[in-house]
């Protein structure tokens, strides 16, 4: 769709946090999902107005409506131009606290957008897209060439590669050949699949270790639930490293190993994972799904998807606190990290490293530049503890209104 010039798309099923919707946001393609009966109500040749922010589809819109939205487009473009002026401004609060802003990428083309926003590097590279739209598994050399190209483009900036997270809503020809799972979201995905299928995992690890000889690389493991998975991965990494050295291949020396915190059990045991890992990265998309027991791509229940649920926020804070205690960096790479409504709340909880789609970075920086940290911690703690909806709304409004005073 990105290469074919598609203006936007509508689906009859799915949720706002499905991988399809996440990718559409990253690519800047307007998308509205879960529009029941769209194919029955929309006809070929219809003029359709899409408002992705409001989730509005207007078929055969009135001329006045079109004029209104043309005006909104102009306002949006002006706002984007204003944000571009912040490109070279340091991402720090009014009290001088530096906040680290990284980009999530899906392919090497995203590096251009990362540069336009002046991100510090790549906080999350989703490697699943190397496996999609094909019948075979990418070979080691293909991985190596792709990673090397990105490393060259980054010119020394950090590059965090998430090992392949196949399964659930990221199906490929490879996963479809396996047994059909009754509940894919709770099935063989992420690190579980990788450790179970060394033929899938080892070529990627070999390529990462080789590419790391050309620039700074971190490895991020998805869907961790057990510390033993970290121990097994480290053992496999050592085996792969020894094999590459024996073959006379150059490998990276200082590669940090991190883990995704996206399962409640992992967040609760974050202090134990912090002992075994070099950094932690909170994946809010799945963390919210598993904490609230809802399928984020099921449009019948995704109205229950709530990033601000007290249980979700407690798990996030628990992870941040565990990292601080163990002196292990904690970042957030889920969609919540790039949502302007939540950035100050997360800062109040102690988060200092954010990774998000490149097109969200400058808006996030604007929020950070206007943020005074002094009172945020107390307000954020109060928000987690408050149960009354009206009082919670009032606290959140106060958090987001806590702008730096003008001198």
Just list the catalytic residues.
19, 333
C-alpha 34/C-alpha 189 separation (Å) is 24
- Domain 9-82: assigned CATH number: 3.50.30.10
Tell me yes or no: is domain 92-401 CATH 3.20.20.60: yes
Element (H, E) at 218: strand 217-221
In this prediction, residue 380 carries a pLDDT of: 96
Domains of the chain, residue spans? 9-82, 92-401
The candidate with the shortest Cα–Cα distance to 316, out of 380, 238, 251, 373, is: 380
**pTM, entire model:** 0.89
Q: What are phi and psi of 358, to 5 degrees?
A: -55, -35
The reply to whether 9-82 and 92-401 are identical in fold is: no
Residue 318, both tokens: 């628990």
Q: Are 339 and 351 in contact (CB under 8 A)?
A: no
pLDDT tens string, the chain, 407 residues long: the values are 777 888 899 998 877 777 778 778 877 888 998 888 899 999 999 999 999 888 899 999 999 999 999 999 999 999 999 999 999 999 999 999 999 999 999 888 889 889 999 999 999 999 988 988 778 889 999 999 999 999 999 999 999 999 999 865 555 555 556 666 677 778 888 999 999 999 999 999 999 999 999 999 999 999 999 999 999 999 999 999 999 999 999 999 999 999 999 999 999 999 999 999 999 999 999 999 999 998 877 777 877 889 999 999 999 999 999 999 999 999 999 889 999 999 999 999 999 999 999 999 999 999 999 999 988 999 999 999 999 999 999 999 999 985 444 43
């Amino acid at each position: 769709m990105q290469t074919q010039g598609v203006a936007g798309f509508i689906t009859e099923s799915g949720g706002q946090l499905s991988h399809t919707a996440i990718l559409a946001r990253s690519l800047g393609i307007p998308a509205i999902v879960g529009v029941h009966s769209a194919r029955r109500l929309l006809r070929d040749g219809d003029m359709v107005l899409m408002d992705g922010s409001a989730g509005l589809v207007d078929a055969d819109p009135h001329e006045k409506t079109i004029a209104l939205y043309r005006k909104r487009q102009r306002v949006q473009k002006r706002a984007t131009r204003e944000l571009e002026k912040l490109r070279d401004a340091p991402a720090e609060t009014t009290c001088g606290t530096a906040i680290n802003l990284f980009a999530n990428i899906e392919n090497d083309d995203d590096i251009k957008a990362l540069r336009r926003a002046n991100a510090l590097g790549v906080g999350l590279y989703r490697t699943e897209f190397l496996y999609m739209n094909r019948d075979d598994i990418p070979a080691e050399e293909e991985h190596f060439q792709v990673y090397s190209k990105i490393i060259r483009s980054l010119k020394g900036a950090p590059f965090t590669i998430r090992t392949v997270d196949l399964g659930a809503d990221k199906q490929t020809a490879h996963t479809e050949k396996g047994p059909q799972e009754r509940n894919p979201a709770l099935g063989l995905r992420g690190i579980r699949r990788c450790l179970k299928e060394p033929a899938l995992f080892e070529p990627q690890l070999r390529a990462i270790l080789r590419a790391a000889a050309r620039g700074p690389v971190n490895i991020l493991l998805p869907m961790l639930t057990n510390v033993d998975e970290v121990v097994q991965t480290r053992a496999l990494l050592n085996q792969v490293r020894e094999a590459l050295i024996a073959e006379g291949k150059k490998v990276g020396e200082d590669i940090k190993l991190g883990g995704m915190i996206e399962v409640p059990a992992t967040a609760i045991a974050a202090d134990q994972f912090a002992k075994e890992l070099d950094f932690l990265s909170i994946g809010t998309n799945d963390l919210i799904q598993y904490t609230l027991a809802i399928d984020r791509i099921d449009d019948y229940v995704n109205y229950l998807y709530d990033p601000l649920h007290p249980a979700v926020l407690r798990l996030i804070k628990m992870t941040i606190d565990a990292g601080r205690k163990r002196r292990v960096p904690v970042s957030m790479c889920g969609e919540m990290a790039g949502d302007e409504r939540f950035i100050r709340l997360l800062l109040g909880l102690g988060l200092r490293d954010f990774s998000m789609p490149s097109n969200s970075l400058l808006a996030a920086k604007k929020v950070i530049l206007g943020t005074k940290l002094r009172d945020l911690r107390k307000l954020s703690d109060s928000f987690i503890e408050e149960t009354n909806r009206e009082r919670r709304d009032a606290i959140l409004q106060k958090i987001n209104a806590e702008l730096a005073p003008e001198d």
